[in-house]
């Protein structure tokens, strides 16, 4: 398969890219690096990315940001960071991507455990993750030509513990190979409209 991975150079993305590259042709997209650059917050940039890659068999997004801050400090503009990047960035990847993906292709989006088990400072990030879960379930009902869409929702990955551990007291970090398998399941399996949860509660 020809697979584009937005965020394919990131902490999770580079492991997923490395694994998938053993069997598939991988195109890495990122904001500042990769085979092609794209800014998820700009749907014209998403259009340009697909124009440069040509048709693909799978679209994987392991990118998107949201503002982390105490609830009392979050401004309206702060919420729009997550809405424009992680939420609408991924929605637009599917909305635009349906015209650039082969029949039977798949979209795999990324959310996270905060949708189900938020921690302090994540009102915006948790909200956005939950919205993506609802989007995936609803969009899957209407995709045509055998297209599929799923989200991988993992807990804090072991490789990111140094950065985020203090925000997740008592959470068991998830080994990267389990997270990678969530993406493999979505791309190579037949799931559609699924939230693939990789948690260790
Ligand atoms: N790390 C975890 O434990 C964990 C757990 C569950 C869910 N998640 C979610 O998984 C996703 C990836 O996490 P990560 O830890 O791998 O992040 P990361 O190491 O910061 O990597 C993020 C990647 O996404 C790209 N990116 C960011 N904003 C972008 C934009 N607007 N347009 C295009 N590309 C963009 C970055 O490109 P540049 O470097 O060029 O900016 C980078 O390649 C995030 O949405 C995160 O919330 C992470």
Alpha carbon 105 to chain centroid, angstroms: 16
Mean pLDDT (the chain, rounded): 98
Do 181 and 162 touch, CB atoms closer than 8 A?
Answer: no
The confidence score (pLDDT) of residue 201 equals 65
**Sign of the alpha-carbon dihedral angle for 62, 63, 69, 72:** negative
The per-residue pLDDT for range 145-164, each reduced to its tens digit, is: 999 999 999 999 999 999 99
Q: How confident is the model at residue 127 (pLDDT cuts 50, 70, 90)?
A: very high
Structure tokens of 16? 């997923």
Pick the atom of ligand 1 nearest to 85's CA: 31
- Is the per-residue pLDDT at 25 higher than 70? yes
| Pocket-forming residues, ligand 1, beta carbon under 6 Å | 6-7, 9-13, 30-33, 38-41, 62-65, 85-86, 89, 110, 112, 154, 156-157, 160
CA of 51 to the centre of ligand 1 (A): 23
The confidence score (pLDDT) of residue 13 equals 98
Label the pairing between strands 195-198 and 148-154.
parallel
CA of 104 to the centre of ligand 1 (A): 26
CA dist list (Å): 193 to 37, 43, 54, 167: 28, 23, 25, 29
CA of 90 to the centre of ligand 1 (A): 12
The per-residue pLDDT for range 39-96, each reduced to its tens digit, is: 999 999 999 999 999 999 999 999 999 999 999 999 999 999 999 999 999 999 999 9
Do 16 and 9 touch, CB atoms closer than 8 A?
Answer: no
């Amino acid at each position: 398969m020809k697979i584009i991975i937005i965020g394919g150079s990131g902490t999770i993305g580079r492991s997923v890219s490395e694994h998938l590259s053993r069997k598939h042709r991988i195109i890495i997209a990122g904001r500042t690096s990769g085979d092609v650059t794209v800014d998820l917050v700009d749907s014209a940039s998403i259009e340009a990315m697909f124009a440069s890659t040509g048709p693909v068999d799978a679209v994987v997004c392991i990118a998107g940001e949201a503002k982390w801050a105490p609830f009392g400090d979050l401004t309206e503009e702060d919420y729009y960071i997550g809405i424009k990047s992680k939420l609408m960035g991924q929605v637009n990847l599917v909305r635009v991507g349906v015209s650039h993906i082969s029949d039977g292709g798949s979209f795999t989006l990324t959310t996270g455990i905060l949708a189900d088990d938020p921690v302090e400072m994540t009102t915006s990030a948790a909200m956005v993750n939950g919205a993506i879960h609802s989007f995936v379930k609803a969009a899957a009902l209407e995709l045509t030509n055998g297209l599929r869409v799923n989200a991988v929702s993992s807990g804090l990955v072991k490789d990111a513990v140094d950065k985020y551990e203090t925000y997740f007291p008592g959470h068991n970090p998830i080994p990267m190979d389990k997270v990678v398998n969530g993406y493999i399941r979505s791309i190579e399996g037949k799931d559609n409209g699924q939230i693939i949860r990789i948690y260790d509660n």
